[in-house]
Amino acid sequence: MSLTTTTGRGELALQPGYFSSSAFVKAFRDDITSLIHAYHDSYGKETQIQPFQLFKQLWVSLGWKWLHFSVPEDRARDAFLHTACRLFIERTVRTEAPFTRAVALYGLHTFFHTQPSGTLPLLRSIAYIPIPIDQHTSLLSLPGTLQTPYLVPLAPAARNILSQFGTEGIFLLIPSSECGPFKPRSLPYEVVLDDTITTQPPDLLKKKGRPSKRERSRRAKNAVENLEKWLQENPHQGSDSLTDPSKATAELYHLHKASLLDKVDESKNEGAMQSDESLALLDASKHVVQRLKAAEMFLSSDNSGSQTTTSSRVGIERMEQTLKKENRGGLLSLLGN
């Protein structure tokens, strides 16, 4: 996502989408948190200054008074003002601590009422603060939550601010926050990734375009070195998988076969002459023999397959003899021996 655009005079200006992106939203949320912590540290030390007066001094000393002059372009400024007010309001909800809610309300009031006027060029300002109706109800109940001795001094300023907002008609009520009335619905809406940040080592970063001969040679050398290192660390696994790739498959087959036959033996030990498992194994063996006979008859009709048919008939006869012996494994007794 491009965060800037070029104006008619060749100057760079922030796009409105920047103020709903993580680049701005995360930074502004962190600034609000730092403002709340700084006020908390000063609030317990200054007993001679009124709470809201102390907040305004802190607002100026931390440089918040210059914030409005950072975005002069109209379209970007409108997005900036609405997003900033929205981020202040989100810290006034019931889930926040009463102290945090009060300081966020102080910040919302100060930010809104310090919008510059009479400047050249004229800076755009907003006349209303959109707020979901449920958050507005929660905000009106804020002074009632400041009841402890430590929080009581914050209540008068909170009441005056809410009364002033109500008298001036600053709040523009919108549907409940559950309906997602804001646009965008949630913040941040876009996530900006830093192209310079990567979890891979610098020598493994992918380069654009077709790799050079030198690069291909380096990759092949690294692959051989990694393979030799793995073979040294796993000599047995390496030799088995490279010299006899079927060994692992055969071992897995023997394991499953032994497990199946043990299951058949357990059923017989329980007193049944022929268990369900044993009958199922016998039926499956008979079905295999029948299918092979059908295939053998099909091949016998082809004169070119006489040698194949003869060997197939011998195999089928061996299977039938195995089934007549009624051993526990059926045709499995012929496999894997």
Q: Convert the pLDDT of each residue in 101-149 to its tens digit.
A: 999 999 999 999 999 887 778 898 999 999 999 999 999 999 999 999 9
> Which two structure tokens, joined as six digits, stand for 166?
């109500």
Q: pLDDT averaged over the chain?
A: 81
> Which two structure tokens, joined as six digits, stand for 328?
């526990």
Tell me which of 321 and 158 has the higher pLDDT: 158
Task: Specify whether 170 is located in the same domain as 61.
Answer: yes
For 321, the domain range is 256-337
- Of the three residues 153, 179, 205, the one that is the final residue of a domain is 179
Most confident of 30-39, 179-188, 211-220, 236-245: 30-39
- Of the three residues 179, 201, 221, the one that is the final residue of a domain is 179
216 in any annotated domain: no
Model confidence at 84, pLDDT cuts 50, 70, 90, reads very high
Beta strands in the chain (DSSP E): 4-6, 12-14, 129-132, 171-174
By DSSP bridging, strand 171-174 and strand 129-132 are parallel
Instruction: Spell out the residues 6+ positions from residue 16 whose beta carbon is closer than 8 angstroms to its own.
Output: 75, 76, 78, 79
209 in any annotated domain: no
329 in any annotated domain: yes
The mean pLDDT value for 287-314 works out to 70
205 in any annotated domain: no
Residue 269 has pLDDT above 70, yes or no: no
Phi, psi of 304 (to 5 degrees): -70, -10
51 in any annotated domain: yes
191 in any annotated domain: no
- For residue 107, the model assigns a pLDDT of 96
Strand partners, 13: 5
152-190 pLDDT, tens digit each: 999 999 999 999 999 999 999 999 999 999 989 999 998
Looking at the structure of the chain, the number of domains it has is 2
Q: Which whole-number Å values give the CA distances from 166 to 128, 173, 176, in the listed order?
A: 11, 11, 19
Q: What is d(CA 214, CA 207) in angstroms, rounded to the nearest whole number?
A: 13
223 in any annotated domain: no
Q: Is 290 helix (H, G, I), strand (E, B) or coil?
A: helix
Least confident segment among 50-54, 67-71, 217-221, 318-322: 318-322
- Of the three residues 179, 196, 216, the one that is the final residue of a domain is 179
Q: What is d(CA 203, CA 221) in angstroms, rounded to the nearest whole number?
A: 14
Task: Specify whether 20 is located in the same domain as 157.
Answer: yes
Most confident of 28-37, 69-78, 232-241: 28-37
Q: What is d(CA 112, CA 126) in angstroms, rounded to the nearest whole number?
A: 8
Task: Specify whether 174 is located in the same domain as 323.
Answer: no
Instruction: Spell out the residues 6+ positions from residue 277 whose beta carbon is closer than 8 angstroms to its own.
Output: 263, 264, 267
